[in-house]
Structure 1
């Protein structure tokens, strides 16, 4: 009996996508068993193959975003290359592209053209700004979406320059929304026999990522407080999420809502006498009062600087307050919960003769577990895929000679 893995086995995907937002949705599908074919230009392939910072090793960018997929090279500027793409699409469930608006139409894989090839096709199109606004024709990047969508401001510190974060939150948010949207549309297509086009953008995904804080901002018509602490709620039901450094400069965070949480937190930390003496028994006094907020945060800075992070976190957790150390990325990759839950794992790389640490999977399926793979060599699957389409050895050789593949 064959091993049961991946709930998406049997799903066929063709992707003419590059970068992060355009490739991660289909990498996730490959992790879950889908048969994903990545189309690349014959001359060099996806440019991110060369985005490496470790000499002699594969590109971490390409590897992370394209593991488990098949690589087929096609010159889509040629009639023969487009014909092969159309044959692949005819058998596919999902097609994805993230070129500039109108580029797909010019290169033979626009929605109107491919829906004629396969009426049940789910067609995923990712852009930078969305296609309906004044900047819909422009290319987009993660930093552009972070800037426009508000997250650069939301995570800024008062008095310091705003900047976009090193984590590609717009790209990854778009990828996850594309993943879910594509599978939702696939369910509809399999029920009704009717495919459809799904449009997403980096900007739209980032706005969604801002969540309820974005709603509050719109309803109040006022920006949230940024910096060290996030203050929420009302004077009667105040909330706070804030970060502090211990005596060694190691940061931690805690979050609470409601006056009872505040009392439990300061008691568990042993701060109750200082907090009472300073007039902060009622956390609600800092709501809509900038001076009081800064005074409390300064006091807490001093108090947390008297002990160690591990001790503070342990005390808060014992009081049933949500608290955690603030990890660096390297610390996060070795966090005991990250390791235990398989959020990072090791995968064999035969070409390099070693196992390398990689992203695991965020899902744990009881019956059909995910199975992370490795990224393909350029054109690695040309022969197998074209043979499945009925091309002979001689025809494949001729296509290669003429640089169609």
Structure 2
């Protein structure tokens, strides 16, 4: 398999690949062009790099728990596997880059990613601004930018307790407040300057509390409509089950159905997030352990008798 493979990937505990003799040094001698992807929890050079870890480790160490925290509440890792998923996506991108290089140069290489590193990178601009200012980010609502040019991304509940989201760039803040008929009220209360949130936790709380009070006077459909008519960004907030039935999800086939023979029915699963104009992607169920052994081994030149002997000897 290694002789003809383009990519080899593993995410065993540190040291296991070496113990089983399929580390990069061993495999690259068989196939110098191979791209070897190795995923760990902490990263190869971390002090704790020898330890095993899971998605919870990636979330906990990366700082992402604070980004999604509510002021006054304890930090918690989330139920969504953001470290696992982001690491898979970033590893995929790294593999493609290394593969393209291997096709051009004839030389493969080892690619290493980690759960911690991926979740940390996922924080993006939020982490960057926190490091620049050497202060924790404003949580609960994302008031970003600078004191002079602040923006906001936040969620508020409407008159029925239904949440919606908005995001306003620095140039949009006052225009949006005027469109919503909030401008005069905020100005009278000394809260029209969003940049005050950078100076005072009290002012930040006062601004957000006043916005929450104002948004609780009408439906989210109305607020979203007003903001969109003013060319501002706003949408309703879904629960997970609501998201799975949202027209924006369903019409893009981000949810699809796959037949599971052992259950004798179709089951809803993630569709593909990619839309290829010439080579549409199809979602299939994952194979069972060893399901394709015969096809793979036959393709490698093994006879039917040899494959049966592997089964008898419990090699496969």
Are 1:396 and 2:307 counterparts? yes
What is the TM-score of this pair, normalised by structure 1? Answer: 0.75
Cα distance, 1:351 vs structure 2: 4.5
- Greater relative contact order, per chain length (Cα 8 Å cut-off, separation 6+): 1
Look up the match of 2:146.
234
**What is the CA deviation profile of residues 59-105 of structure 1, one whole-angstrom value per residue up to 9, with x for unaligned ones?**
xxxxxxxxxxxxxxxxxxxxxxxxxxxxx111111000001111001
Look up the match of 2:128.
215
Are 1:312 and 2:223 counterparts? yes
What is the CA–CA distance in structure 2 between the aligned matches of 1:286 and 1:383, rounded to whole Å?
64
- Written as runs of structure 1 = structure 2, the 5 A alignment for 1:112-261 is 112-227=25-140, 229-258=141-170, 260-261=171-172
Counterpart of 2:237 (choices 322, 326, 344) is: 326
Look up the match of 2:214.
303
Are 1:383 and 2:289 counterparts? no
Distance 1:133 1:284, change over 3 A: closer
Moved more, 299-308 or 91-100: 299-308
Look up the match of 1:364.
275
What is the CA–CA distance in structure 1 between the aligned matches of 2:307 and 2:48, rounded to whole Å?
42
What is the CA–CA distance in structure 2 between the aligned matches of 1:335 and 1:375, rounded to whole Å?
26
Look up the match of 2:194.
283
**What is the CA deviation profile of residues 210-250 of structure 1, one whole-angstrom value per residue up to 9, with x for unaligned ones?**
112211121222211222x1111233311111111112211
Asked if 1 retains the 8 angstrom alpha-carbon contact of 2:191 and 2:206, the reply is: no
What is the TM-score of this pair, normalised by structure 2? Answer: 0.95
What is the CA–CA distance in structure 1 between the aligned matches of 2:289 and 2:165, rounded to whole Å?
44
Q: Gaps (5+ residues) in structure 2?
A: none
Q: Secondary structure at the match of 1:135?
A: coil
Asked if 2 retains the 8 angstrom alpha-carbon contact of 1:130 and 1:204, the reply is: yes
Cα distance, 1:129 vs structure 2: 0.5
Q: Secondary structure at the match of 1:310?
A: helix
Q: Gaps (5+ residues) in structure 1?
A: 1-87
Asked if 2 retains the 8 angstrom alpha-carbon contact of 1:236 and 1:284, the reply is: yes
What is the CA–CA distance in structure 2 between the aligned matches of 1:232 and 1:316, rounded to whole Å?
20
Cα distance, 1:350 vs structure 2: 4.4
Are 1:346 and 2:257 counterparts? yes
Asked if 2 retains the 8 angstrom alpha-carbon contact of 1:129 and 1:135, the reply is: yes
Look up the match of 1:31.
none
What is the CA–CA distance in structure 1 between the aligned matches of 2:137 and 2:25, rounded to whole Å?
43
What is the CA–CA distance in structure 2 between the aligned matches of 1:242 and 1:255, rounded to whole Å?
7
